[in-house]
Structure 1
């Protein structure tokens, strides 16, 4: 089962994609503007995103850039656009897109390109892990290892830790973490600090040094094995 998000504001094209892809076994979601697309892509797990370039509220290039840079989301992205020049394709790929398809396109070719992107992503993620200092984190399962000891994570702390790992050593802003977990509907309480505390305990308990550093008034980052505040 392949789960795909369609971010496209043309209802006729969206209907055509549903009619073609669903009988092939795809599970589809769709968003009709860029901000909704970004929120949907970051709140759910997809095997691929079909992304129009010209969108209301947030264009596809900006959406792809934010998906990669802010949220460190590696989901394969296929740009769908009527802009056929080489410069347009280069701009899309430079923002983090994996492939580019010019409208009008063959649905059979679209299907083949989605399959190819998903295969490449699955190959990259086989036994995938991220490493920082003496900490290794599984990119798929909520687990990590530090100094040879296995660490069980919750789905939420796993998501936060992957974000920190992919951004390190740069700081992840508090607002980015809040959006990562809750989108535009954050809880009234400061639940994020509770999750950060839990993550500190999970990867720092029983070890001589902490790895998560608080950058006061801004957010958090991964430290080089020093005692972090």
Structure 2
């Protein structure tokens, strides 16, 4: 998934860039409003992180132009040092989808960004996830593959849900560990062990492997046989 950062503070932009890239996002950055607007409308983005106070065009103007002139509905998470209610309301009026006040936690940015993208893609409304011949019921948490019931421990179930929400996307190891274990990050081999267990459960009857290891990055769901070493 592609995320555009429009932020003029080099340190903040670098932290956001590194965190999102490590989480498996494809990231680009603009350091002023004019460039940010040009990039926002010249490419397709899954979300935009937009600072409010920008040189050459402020964030409110950029967001308004993105909505009213370019007619883009890309999710916008506005980042600002201003925490007054009027400032927040102005952001929403001009087309922002969510609002974070600086200083903020990178984990919260990641969580809010994921929620925005999920709503944008319609992932919130459905009560089940499907990929290839695998079905996950989000209400009962029942898992089936080609009609075969698969019983998973909670952590493996959580991993499967995350992977099935965005098939094909590479999820970074740090992102998966944070999503599943929260602040109490596991040992270095714990995620690998859970992925192994999940793979084994999904392929117990010789079915095609669906979880691919992207070496040096993380994991993703792919259709057909993969090199899952």
Normalised by the length of structure 2, the TM-score is 0.53
Q: Which residue does 1:186 correspond to in 2?
A: none
SS at match of 1:96: coil
Q: Which residue does 1:100 correspond to in 2?
A: 99
What is the CA-CA distance between 1:38 and the residue it aligns to? 0.2
Q: Which residue does 1:66 correspond to in 2?
A: 65
User: Unaligned regions of 5+ residues in structure 2, if any?
Assistant: 126-229
SS at match of 1:6: strand
CA deviation profile, 1:163-207 (whole Å, cap 9, x unmatched): xxxxxxxxxxxxxxxxxxxxxxxxxxxxxxxxxxxxxxxxxxxxx
What is the CA-CA distance between 1:114 and the residue it aligns to? 0.3
Within 5 Å, give how 1:108-187 maps onto structure 2: 108-123=107-122
CA distance in 1, matches of 2:20, 2:74: 19
CA distance in 2, matches of 1:16, 1:118: 20
2:19 aligned with 1:30: no
Q: Which residue does 1:13 correspond to in 2?
A: 12
What is the CA-CA distance between 1:86 and the residue it aligns to? 0.7
Normalised by the length of structure 1, the TM-score is 0.53
Structure 1 segments of 4+ aligned residues over 4 angstroms from their partners: none
SS at match of 1:123: coil
Q: Which residue does 1:87 correspond to in 2?
A: 86
What is the CA-CA distance between 1:75 and the residue it aligns to? 0.2
What is the CA-CA distance between 1:68 and the residue it aligns to? 0.1
SS at match of 2:78: strand
CA distance in 2, matches of 1:84, 1:55: 16
What is the CA-CA distance between 1:18 and the residue it aligns to? 1.6
What is the CA-CA distance between 1:19 and the residue it aligns to? 1.7
What is the CA-CA distance between 1:88 and the residue it aligns to? 0.4
Aligned pairs, number:
125
RMSD: 1.5
Equivalent pair of 2:8/2:32 in contact (CA under 8 Å): yes
2:41 aligned with 1:42: yes
Equivalent pair of 2:41/2:70 in contact (CA under 8 Å): yes
SS at match of 2:77: strand
Within 5 Å, give how 1:51-62 maps onto structure 2: 51-62=50-61
What is the CA-CA distance between 1:5 and the residue it aligns to? 0.2
CA distance in 1, matches of 2:50, 2:94: 12
Q: Which residue does 2:214 correspond to in 1?
A: none
User: Unaligned regions of 5+ residues in structure 1, if any?
Assistant: 127-229
